[in-house]
Homo-oligomer: A and B are copies of this chain.
Amino acid sequence: MSARIPQVSVKRLPVYLRALSGLAARRVEIVSSADLARLTGFSSEQIRKDLAYFGSFGTRGVGYHTDALLERIRRVLGLHRDIAVALVGAGHLGTALARYNQGQEHHVEIRAIFDADPAKIGQAIGGTAVLDVRDLGATVRAQGIRLAVVAVPAAQAQGVVAELCAAGVEAILNFAPVRLEVPPSVHVENIDLSQALQSLAFYTALGANEHG
């Protein structure tokens, strides 16, 4: 069933999760797709379609049970249990990611941090010690880690990723501005800050003036 949920829908699930958590905290028991539309900015049609991928919970004219939908989305994402994440790269970006993650209440937690810099190895970010990147494969294997974040310079990224894949990692969030080669079974999501800024330029008059 999971294979049938399109990637764009999977990306929206955490957004629904946050909206539903807010509603649950306020003890709102029933939520309509129109409510979710207001809270998330997605259309009601889009929301109903996304939620239908993993079975219909909505009652026409009534809505969804907040807690049931919350729990279902958590399970679909695998967040009903804690997921350990390895972070490779403890520079400014890696540190920001680790700190940010530590401040969140959710079930995806950065549990191991790696860097190549002797000055960083042995230091702690939040409560988590920075380990030597030479121990990356062994640690990921020993801890059964399946999810990793890559925040190393472009030149190091492919090597790190090859090691992560060999050690059993199945999904990678990559911030290095390079296209990574991975086995077909490994899912990579790229966040390229430079490309994000470039595509945003399109929406400024500086860009659009030239289109017509």
| Binary CB contact string for chain A from 50 to 91 against chain B (1 if under 8 A, 0 otherwise) | 000010000000000000000000011111110101000001
Interface size on A, residues (CB 8 A): 69
B-side contacts of A134, CB under 8 Å: none
User: How many chain copies?
Assistant: 2
Q: Which of A10-18, A25-33, A135-143 forms part of the interface with chain B?
A: A10-18
Report Cα–Cα, A10/B207, bound state, in Å. 12
Partner of A91, one of B96, B201, B209: B96
Report Cα–Cα, A20/B105, bound state, in Å. 42
Binding site for B on A (CB under 8 A): 1-2, 5, 10-11, 13-15, 17-18, 39-41, 54, 75-81, 83, 85, 91-93, 95-97, 99-101, 104, 106-108, 146-147, 149, 170-173, 177, 179, 187, 189, 191-212
